[in-house]
Amino acid sequence: MNVAVIGTGYVGLGTAALLAHIGHTVTGIDISEEKIAMLQRAEVPIHEPGLDALLASVQSRLTWTTSYDAVAAADVVFICVGTPPGPDGTPDLQYVVSAAASIAPHLNGHTQVIVNKSTVPIGTGDYVTRLLEENSVTFHAERHAVVSNPEFLREGTALHDSLYPDRIVLGGSPDAVAHMTRLYAPLIEQTFVAPASAPRPETYTRPAVVKTTLQSAEMIKYAANAFLALKISFANEIAGLSERVGADIEEVMTGIGMDTRIGSRFLNAGLGWGGSCFGKDTQGLISAGREHNYDMPILQAAVTVNYRQRQDVLQKLIRQLRTLKGKRIGVLGMAFKPDTDDLRDAPAHDLIERLHGLGATVVAHDPIAMPRASREWAHLTYHEAGSVEQVFDRADAIIVATEWTDYRTLDWNALTPRMRRPLIIDARNIIRNPIDAQVEQIGRDAPAAEEFTMDTSL
Ligand SMILES: NC(=O)c1ccc[n+]([C@@H]2O[C@H](COP(=O)([O-])OP(=O)(O)OC[C@H]3O[C@@H](n4cnc5c(N)ncnc54)[C@H](O)[C@@H]3O)[C@@H](O)[C@H]2O)c1
Ligand SMILES: O=c1ccn([C@@H]2O[C@H](COP(=O)(O)OP(=O)(O)O[C@H]3O[C@H](CO)[C@@H](O)[C@H](O)[C@H]3O)[C@@H](O)[C@H]2O)c(=O)[nH]1
């Protein structure tokens, strides 16, 4: 089919690459001339492992433009623009509104489905239908249907998540949903050739297809993110208590995760969640509740625990150093998670801001996100480390904020002698063996020489 993808951010690029790979012809449209110019030069504006290789392999089926003209010939139009939080937590729909207004004049009898892939408040599908109707003289509800097809990819593993999803959620009229199942047939049947940049997992089975209403599809997206966020906050809350009673959070979570009703994933305690989605979507759901005069105390608590975690990590540091004035603190990791350059709601941002506010000199490092941080975090005061070694040089302490593989594999004993005081606040629990430094972790005592390892074998 002929597809137009509006918005070439993390979701739009992933969607364009996926659809081109499974055989469709795709036009990617963005209002950012800078992004489109880069894509036209075959440069990828974001860091996402394997994406450049996949886009290069399907370039003959991909066109990049700032013009909406391609919408007229598209069978399916995807809306993948941002929905950032407004000041009160309600998602800001301005980009969705302007995308719908720009799509509408190009709708003729050809396009059958307009797909909302952006994460939007429940009811937005109907709102988009009305916007299209108001801005198009040729719009007919029987010919142009809006479908909700939420995206579940994680940054850093976007290709894997797009090509091998657990489920595909399609909300809308039966005809429109049937059209979408034809579009996704190679994905649903898994008949495409697995790209080298994202090989098919050995145990993978076909995705489930959830056919539902617009409203339920929109709710599924929010509820999924809220539940995942909740799981992480739960792990962090139990971690806090584990520290106080002498339990080990990793063993506790391993122990509970073996119950298949609970599941072992997304139970890693640490610095809490960050990123463009969990904070925004938990707030989005809470604000939807507020709109309907319905409290959401569980979600509210998950948010409180999440941001308290950033404070608690600083408290660990202060307990050791007493005052941060005049201290040199290294921060390892700036991106909100490994394998991305995304800095949105990154815990490291708050750490750097607070450390500086408390009088510390901050030296920060990230394997990928540093150039982006120097643009997007220009309001923060910190020194960019030219190398990991520089983070250690004369540091009074180091905080591990992001669990990049580069940090997991550090030769700590070779680096800690560079420090003024060998104190590591390992806020992602990446240090597995004793090192020549004092190590503080989350929800557990640091590995000791005579470490007891829980036997989880049969
Ligand atoms: N990032 C993720 O991992 C992820 C995963 C699932 C869902 N989502 C959701 O998907 C949506 C997009 O997220 P993202 O991270 O890709 O955003 P992003 O900010 O990376 O990209 C959005 C893009 O849309 C473009 N844009 C804005 N208005 C436009 C318009 N009128 N016409 C054309 N282009 C326009 C912007 O220039 C930008 O390139 C959000 O609703 C988000 O919540 C994101
Ligand atoms: O056990 C865990 C798992 C994750 N995190 C943190 O949680 C955040 C989010 O991680 P992850 O979910 O892997 O990345 P995202 O790219 O934000 O993906 C989430 O948000 C996307 C946007 O909506 C959804 O599409 C995905 O399904 C959902 O996982 C990161 O800061 C992680 O460090 C933890 O602290 N502990």
- Rounded to the nearest 5°, which phi and psi values hold at 331? -120, 120
Instruction: Identify the residue with better confidence: 119 or 141.
Output: 119
pLDDT in tens, 306-316: 999 999 999 99
**273 shares its domain with 188:** no
Q: Tell me if 152 is assigned to a ligand binding site.
A: yes
For ligand 2, atom 23, the nearest C-alpha belongs to 277
Q: Is 206 helix (H, G, I), strand (E, B) or coil?
A: coil
Number of domains in the chain: 2
- Reply yes or no on whether the pLDDT at 81 is more than 70: yes
Q: How many CA atoms lie within 13 A of 359 on its CB side?
A: 8
Q: Is 268 in the pocket of ligand 2 (CB under 6 A)?
A: yes
Range with the lowest mean pLDDT among 8-22, 59-73, 100-114, 167-181? 100-114
User: For the CA atoms of the chain, what is the radius of gyration?
Assistant: 24
Give a yes or no: residue 382 inside a domain. Answer: yes
Say whether pLDDT at 110 is over 90. Answer: no
Please report whether residue 235 resides in a domain: no
Residues spanned by the domain of 116: 2-212
Judge whether residue 224 has pLDDT over 70: yes
Q: Which residues contact 420 (CB under 8 A, 6 or more apart)?
A: 328, 394, 395, 396
How much is the pLDDT for 450? 46
The number of the ligand nearest the C-alpha atom of 280 reads 1
Residues 360 and 248 in one domain: yes
Q: Is 80 a catalytic residue?
A: no
Q: Work out the pLDDT band at 456, boundaries 50, 70, 90.
A: very low
Among 136, 141, 144, 127, which Cα is nearest to 93's?
A: 127
Residue ending a domain, among 192, 212, 232, is 212
196 and 244 assigned to the same domain: no
Asked whether residue 40 falls in the same domain as residue 142, the answer is yes
Beta bridge partners of 3: 26, 76
Q: Which of 184, 193, 190 is nearest to 206 (CA)?
A: 190
Where is 132: in which H helix or E strand?
helix 124-135
Report the pLDDT value the prediction gives residue 137, as an integer from 0 to 100: 81
135 & 68 share domain: yes
Mean pLDDT along residues 16-20: 98
Residues 108 and 158 in one domain: yes
The protein residue with its alpha carbon nearest to ligand 2, atom 5, reads: 273
Does 269 count as an annotated binding residue? yes
Extended beta strands in 124-238, E state: 145-148, 167-171, 208-212
- In this structure, the answer to whether residues 425 and 298 fall within a common structural domain is yes
Evaluate whether residue 226 is within a structural domain: no
* Ligand of minimum distance to the alpha carbon of 427: 2
Q: Which of 81-95, 127-141, 438-452 has the lowest mean pLDDT?
A: 438-452
CB-based contacts of 282, cutoff 8 Å, min separation 6: 225, 226, 229, 299, 302, 303
Nearest CA to ligand 2 atom 29: 154
228 lines ligand 2 (CB under 6 A): yes
| Residues 93 and 151 both lie in one domain | yes
pLDDT for position 449: 42
Residue 126 within any structural domain of the chain: yes
CA of 30 to the centre of ligand 1 (A): 10
| Residue 210, φ and ψ in degrees, nearest 5 | -100, 110
Q: Is 274 annotated as a binding residue?
A: yes
Tokens 């598209």 identify what position?
Answer: 74
Q: What number is the average pLDDT over the span 214-220?
A: 98
- Tell me: do 59 and 194 sit in the same domain: yes
Question: What percent of the chain shows pLDDT beyond 90?
Answer: 93
With a 6 Å cutoff on the Cβ, whether 221 touches ligand 2 is: no
How far is the centre of ligand 1, averaged over its atoms, from the C-alpha of 82 (Å)?
3
Look at the block and give the residue holding tokens 């997992």: 201
Nearest-angstrom CA–CA distance, 153 and 420: 42
Note the pLDDT of residue 454. 53
Please state the atom number of ligand 1 nearest to the C-alpha of residue 277: 43
Span from the CA of 275 to the centroid of ligand 1 (angstroms): 13
- Catalytic residue chosen out of the listed positions 277, 288, 299, 391: 277
**Token output for 56:** 């290069």
Quick one: 426 and 371 in the same domain? Answer: yes
d(CA 192, CA 186): 6
Tell me, using a 6 A CB cutoff, whether residue 237 lines ligand 2: no
Per-residue pLDDT at 184: 98
Burial of 75 (0-12, 13-18, 19+ CB in 10 A): middle
Say which DSSP state 70 is in.
G
Q: Which of 354, 12, 58 is nearest to 192 (CA)?
A: 58
Q: Is 156 annotated as a binding residue?
A: no
Could you tell me the CATH number of the domain that includes residue 342? Answer: 3.40.50.720
Instruction: Identify the pLDDT of residue 446.
Output: 67
Which of 135, 174, 168 shows the shortest CA–CA distance to 153?
168
Same domain membership, residue 248 and residue 200: no
Same domain, 189 and 295: no
Distance from Cα 347 to the centre of ligand 2, integer Å = 13
pLDDT tens for each residue of 389-436: 999 999 999 999 999 999 999 999 999 999 999 999 999 999 999 999
- For 319-342, write each residue's pLDDT tens digit: 999 999 999 999 999 999 999 999
pLDDT in tens, 353-371: 999 999 999 999 999 999 9
